[in-house]
Chain A
Amino acid sequence: MTPKRKQRLFVILGLVSLAAIAVGLTLYALRANINLFFSPIQIAAGEAPIERQIRAGGMVKEGSVSRNPDSLDVEFVITDFVEELDVHYSGILPDLFREGQGVVVVGKLSESGHFRADQVLAKHDENYMPSEVAEALEAAGYSPSDYADKYTGMKVEGAD
């Protein structure tokens, strides 16, 4: 490589590294804002603002969903398996909403620690399987998420 080319290559490498450092520091500074939602642990620790529009995320606790038969009101508990958060919602739930499923709720946290949701979004995991397989797993006493958990430990992330 001629000295001139080498010099140009170093200029480019320097430029790209500087850009990477600048972006990296910005993202680091904004990390709290980039997270889409607060987890129940963060809310229990008082990190989330009261009576302001926020998002909270976690799993819908098994057996916690109670619907009012006369209206669209629904109450459920979201959990990260450490802390829990009571959620009230009135409206239509997404197709994937069910107990044991991840959700993101948009709304306000009250003084008493209840969450009034204006919108409920379902999160889904990266696992797909045919319904016959899911039924067979359940018949054998496993839940589809057990099947998923078995392999998430060895996962290396790729682009999607």
Chain B
Amino acid sequence: MWAFIHKLGSPKWFYDISERLQPWFWAAAAMLILVGSVWGLAFAPADYQQGNSFRIIYVHVPAAFLAQSIFVGMALAAVVFMVWKIKVADMAAAVMAPLGAAMTFIALFSGAVWGLPTWGTWWMWDARLTSMLILLFLYFGVIALRGAFASRDSGSRAASVLAMVGVVNIPIIKYSVDWWYTLHQPASFTITSRPSMPAEMWWPLLLMVLGFYSFFIALTLMRTRSEILRRESNKRWVRDLAREEG
């Protein structure tokens, strides 16, 4: 167990294992998103109240899931980096931030597009929407802090601290719809309870959520690999690799 974790912390070992894992996640992401979106957008039935505009759920919910999960992942990587000084964890945290920010933006944007016809407004300062906007700014803050220092190590530490502290916002986003009166309705898609929609609407949503997660893992592996090469470019194994590639 410990040996495995120590190996995971070695850039070279991570570089090798991620090369083998990567294609599987890319294939899973492509399959799931393709099947899920065709099923959800073309074949799933329209909602009895909202008609076809409910289909935005197939982008909105997976993006919102990822936006929050990526922040938690980034914070965990930050803890590993700060406590055990494992550099691969910091590289992974660095490449996760832009994708998380993009997912947060997609969730906010698709929510606005959806809110206009159903609620009658594209934006409302309710607790769910506002806490999600704060998440977007936290992502921007993490990205900016990392770049704001002359030395990479100071930037990494500052970004890690903000990621760890910012994780406080995640439970607020999740429970905002239960703690306060909000315009946003409570969660429809949960893993722990009976779905609040019939199977022919729920299955494509599940596929999309899994597809988005696979995409996130595949992209993070790929970008961490290039980050490893960039930061370890003066190491012997990287130079050997470059010589082999020619």
Contact = CB atoms under 8 A, between A and B. Distances in A.
Interface residues of A, number: 50
Contacts of A48: none
Contact of A128 (B54, B79, B124): B54
A124 B50 contact: yes
A127 B201 CA distance: 11
Contacts of A148: 196
Contacts of A158: 174, 187, 189-193
Given A9-B83, A121-B119, A36 B126 contact: yes
A152 B83 CA distance: 42
B64 A159 contact: yes
Contacts of A12: 79, 82-83, 164
A49 interface: no
Contacts of A35: 180-181
A123 B49 CA distance: 12
Interface stretch (A60-68, A71-79, A107-115, A129-137): A129-137
Interface string B53-64: 010010001001
A121 B191 contact: no
Given A15-B165, A128-B47, A130-B48, A157 B118 contact: no
A13 to B, nearest CB: 9
Interface in B25-51: 45-50
B172 interface: yes
Interface residues of B, number: 56
Contacts of B196: 126-128, 148, 151, 155
Contacts of B120: 93-94, 97, 119-122
Contacts of A44: none
Contacts of A159: 64-65, 68, 173-174, 187
Contacts of B50: 95-96, 124, 128
Nearest to B68: A159
A94 B194 CA distance: 30
B145 interface: no
B161 interface: yes
B16 to A, nearest CB: 26
A131 B45 CA distance: 8
B185 A126 contact: yes
A19 B168 contact: yes
B233 interface: no
Given A121-B120, A130-B198, A134-B48, A16 B183 contact: no
A160 interface: yes
A29 interface: no
A36 B48 contact: no
A21 to B, nearest CB: 9
Nearest to B60: A160
Contacts of B193: 151, 154-156, 158
Contacts of A95: 50, 117-118
Given A130-B47, A159-B68, A31 B194 contact: no
A122 B118 CA distance: 7
B174 A128 contact: no
Q: What are the 9 A-B residue pairs with the smallest beta carbon separation, nearest first?
A: A158-B190, A130-B45, A94-B120, A134-B48, A160-B187, A128-B197, A131-B48, A126-B188, A36-B126
Given A96-B118, A119-B120, 10 more contacts: A126-B196, A129-B197, A133-B198, A154-B194, A155-B196, A157-B177, A157-B187, A158-B174, A159-B65, A159-B174
